[in-house]
Amino acid sequence: MSEGCRCLQREGLALNPMKKWKKIAIGVCAGLVLLIGGAVVYHYLTKDIVTVQSGKVLRQDLTSIVSGTGEVRPKTYTNVLGEGFGKITDIVVKEGDHVKKGDVLLHLENIQPGADVQAQMASIDSMEAGTRVAAANYDSAVATLAQREADLQKAKYDWERAQKLFQEQLISKQEFDANKATYDSAVAALNASKAQVEVTRAAREQSRSNHDQARAVLKHTADVLRKTTYTAPIDGIVSYIAVRVGENVVPGIQNATGSFLLTISDMSIVTAEVKVDETDITNLRNGQTADVTIDAIPGKHYSGRVTEVGELAILRSSGQAATTQTTANTQEARDFKVVIYIENPPDSLRPGLSCNAKIQTAQKQAALTIPIQSLAVRSHKDLEQAQKANGGANVTLAASKPALIPGQKDEITGVFVIRGRKVQFVPVQTGISGVTEIEVTSGLQEGDEVVTGNFKALRSLRPGSSIKVDNSPPKPEDSSSSSS
C-alpha cells in the first residue's frame, strides 16, 4: 500500500469517532427536548386537577352525641363552716372517713365557754332559791290578808252591835269608842295586807323573770360551748379537711381564712357535673341517657341520665355565671352546666374526679349519612360565578333564591358530588349528627360519591373543577424532617 493511501486511511479513522459522538449528543439533546416538552404539556393538562379524598353516601344507624367534661360530685354535700371563735385542739376524723349524722368531727378550746356555763348554772340555782322564797312570801301575804279580812269582819259585827247598845244606853261611851277604834284598825290592817300581797306578788314575778332571763343566758352560753364541738350534719364521707390542729376558727364569712373547715359528701347518690358548649345545650333534655367515663378508672363506662340542664351560661375562662354585668362588653365563649345521675357508681368513687360524658340527644335507624367533614359552605355569589364559568353545568342551585332575612348570611351548605372526573356542588339539608357522620335529609341519594377531604382541597374547591381521587392512607412524615 502506498504511503498516500495509508494517510487517507488514518484520516478516515480519525473522522469516524467524531461523527459518532456528534450523533450521540444530538440524540440526547432531542430526548431532553421531548421530555421537557412532554412535562410542560402534562403540566398544562393537569394544572387544574385537584387531588381529593372521597366517601360514599350510606344508610346506617345514627346516634347524635353531645360531649361534655367536668367532675364527679355527690348530689348532697355540705361544707362545715366556723360558728364561733376558737383554737382547734383536736381533729377526730381524717379524709376518707365515713361518718354518721351527729358523729364528732373536731374540738375547739372550750375553757372559757365551759366556765361560763358552770357559772350561769350556779346563778340559776341561786335564783331558783330566791324564786321559792318570793313564792313563800307571797303565800304568807295572802294568808295574812285572809286573816285581816276575818278580823275586819269580826270588828264590823262588834261595831254594829255596839252602835245598837249605845243607842239603847246599855254601854258606856268609852266602850263604844273602843269598838269603833277596833273596827277602824281592822280596816287599816286589811288595806296594809292587800298592799303587802301586791308587793310579794311583784317580787315573785320579778324573781321568775330573772330566773327566765338566767335560763336564756344559760342557753346562750351552752350554745357557745356546743360550738366548740363540731358534729356531722349528714351521713357521708369526709371528702376534704381545710384546717389543722392549732389553727384558729372564725365565724362563717365568705372567703375568710379559718371559716371553711371541711366538707362531708353523701356518696349514696353520685352525679357527673359537666360543662356543655352553648351550641349544643338546646338539644339536651332531662331523662336523656349518657355514657360516663372517669379518668381515674380507665376502661370503665357507667350509664347515667340527665337530671338537670343549666339555665344560666358560665364564662369559660373564669367559671363564673355570665350575668348582664359580666358580659356587657365581651364575646367570650360560654358553657352550660349539665348534671348527670350515675347509675351503680363504684365504691372507690371520690368527689372531684375528672370525668367525661357523652349524652345521646337523638337516634335514627337507616339514616342517609355522609362524613361530617364533607360539608362545605359557599355563597350564592360564588356559585353563580361558577355556573357562568361552566356554562350552567356542575352547579345545582335552589329553584329560586330566597329573600334574605336582615343579618342573615348569604351562604349555602352543600357537598361536592363526584360526577366522572369533575365535581358538582349540591346543596343539602341536614338532620342529626353523630361523632363522625351527619344525616342528610335531601339533596343526595344512597351510593353517591362525595368529596371528603382534604381540608385544603375542600376549602378551595370550585364547582366544575377537575379532580383525581386518591384514597390511599397518608404517608408517615419523615422523622428527620419533623425533628428539624
Least confident of 101-115, 217-231, 242-256: 242-256
Point out the least confidently predicted range of 62-71, 301-310, 452-461.
452-461
Of the listed ranges 146-150, 205-209, 383-387, 430-434, the one predicted with least confidence: 383-387
Lowest mean pLDDT among 24-28, 75-79, 98-102, 451-455: 24-28
pLDDT tier for residue 295 given thresholds of 50, 70 and 90: very high
Looking at the predicted structure, is the pLDDT value of residue 67 above 70? yes
Q: Examine the pLDDT at 8 and tell me if it is beyond 70.
A: no
Range of 170-184, 335-349, 384-398 with top mean pLDDT: 335-349
At residue 426, the pLDDT reads 93
**Whether pLDDT at 285 is above 50:** yes
Q: Say what the pLDDT of residue 394 is.
A: 54
Q: What is the mean pLDDT of residues 100-121?
A: 93
Judged against a pLDDT cut of 50, whether residue 404 lies above it is answered with: no
- Residue predicted with more confidence, 318 or 170: 170
Per-residue pLDDT at 326: 53
Confidence at residue 44, expressed as pLDDT on a 0 to 100 scale: 45
The whole-number average pLDDT for the span 419-426 is 90
pLDDT in tens, 181-202: 888 888 898 899 889 889 999 9
Which of 167-171, 379-383, 411-415 has the lowest average pLDDT? Answer: 379-383
pLDDT of 347: 83
Residue 416 has pLDDT above 90, yes or no: yes
Residue-level pLDDT at 440: 94
- The 3-state secondary structure of the chain reads CCHHHHHHHHHHHHHHHHHHHHHHHHHHHHHHHHHHHHHHHHHHHHCCCEEEEEEECEEEEEEEEEEEEEEEEEEEEEEEECCCCEEEEEECCCCCCEECCCCEEEEECCHHHHHHHHHHHHHHHHHHHHHHHHHHHHHHHHHHHHHHHHHHHHHHHHHHHHHHHHHCCCCCHHHHHHHHHHHHHHHHHHHHHHHHHHHHHHHHHHHHHHHHHHHHHHHHHHHHHHCCEEECCCCEEEEEECCCCCCEECCCCCCCCCCEEEEEEEEEEEEEEEEEECCCHHHCCCCCEEEEEECCEEEEEEEEEEEEECCCCEECCCCCECCCCCCCCCCCCEEEEEEEEECCCCCCCCCCCEEEEEEEEEEEEEEEEEEHHHCEEEEHHHHHHHHHHCCCCCECCCCCCCCCCCCCCCEEEEEEEEECCEEEEEECEEEEECCCEEEEEECCCCCCEEEEECHHHHHHCCCCCEEEECCCCCCCCCHHHHHC
Residue pLDDT, tens place only, 316-374: 877 777 765 555 556 778 899 999 999 999 888 888 899 999 999 999 999 999 999 99
Residue 226 has pLDDT above 60, yes or no: yes
pLDDT at 478: 47
* The predicted structure's pLDDT at residue 484: 39
- The predicted model gives 102-126 an average pLDDT of 92
Average pLDDT of span 151-162: 86
Please give the pLDDT value at position 474.
Answer: 65
Per-residue pLDDT band for 397 (boundaries 50, 70, 90) equals very low
pLDDT of residue 48: 64
pLDDT band, very low/low/confident/very high, at 267 (cuts 50, 70, 90): confident
- Write down the mean pLDDT value for the chain: 83
Domains of the chain: 53-59+367-399+408-473 (2.40.420.20), 112-226 (1.10.287.620), 269-324+332-362 (2.40.30.170)
pTM: 0.60
- pLDDT computed for residue 41 by the predictor: 43
Question: Which one has a higher pLDDT value, 344 or 253?
Answer: 344
